[in-house]
Amino acid sequence: MRLLNAGDFSHVFEQADLKVHGKGMMALARMTTRGHPRIGLIVSKKNAKRAVDRNRFKRLVRESVRLRQDHLPSMDIVILAKRGVQDIDNETLSRQLHGMWKRLQRDAQTVSIAPPLDGVTRDT
């Protein structure tokens, strides 16, 4: 599943429970009660000038999530590409992503799911 609208992205940015840095990317995550992870990708032209590089990054991230979605906790994850991501080869990028998923899994065990402050459930 993917994060598609601005509200979902804003919610993760404003209330991120976890932050994981990797070479050429960063992940922000917020725990949810959905039962499955959702991914949002941000790759700016400033950080990856060519469309082919931006699309390659997005394709590799989506494939990595597809392969590991059963092991990821229920959370909304936003992956931000950093400057220089276009210079990282596919194998290194895949290893970086695998490490990020492992760190998110490990760190998610220490985070509890807090109810929304306004009493409205946003996960439905």
Pairing of strands 75-81, 38-42: parallel
Give the confidence band of 101 by pLDDT, cuts at 50, 70, 90.
very high
> What is the average per-residue pLDDT within 79-90?
92
54 sits in the region (left: phi over 0; alpha: psi -120 to 50; else beta) called: alpha
Task: Identify the pLDDT of residue 124.
Answer: 46
Which residue in this structure is represented by tokens 């991914």?
39
What are the structure tokens assigned to 109, written together? 């065990």
Q: What is the CA radius of gyration of the chain?
A: 14
Q: Note if the pTM is more than 0.85.
A: no
Give residue 5's pLDDT band: very low, low, confident or very high (50, 70, 90): confident
Within 10 Å of residue 91's Cβ, how many Cβ atoms? 8
What local confidence, expressed as pLDDT, does residue 77 receive? 94
| Burial label, 9 (beta-carbon count in 10 A; 0-12, 13-18, 19+) | middle
Domains and CATH numbers, the chain: 6-108 (3.30.230.10)
At 82 the pLDDT is 93
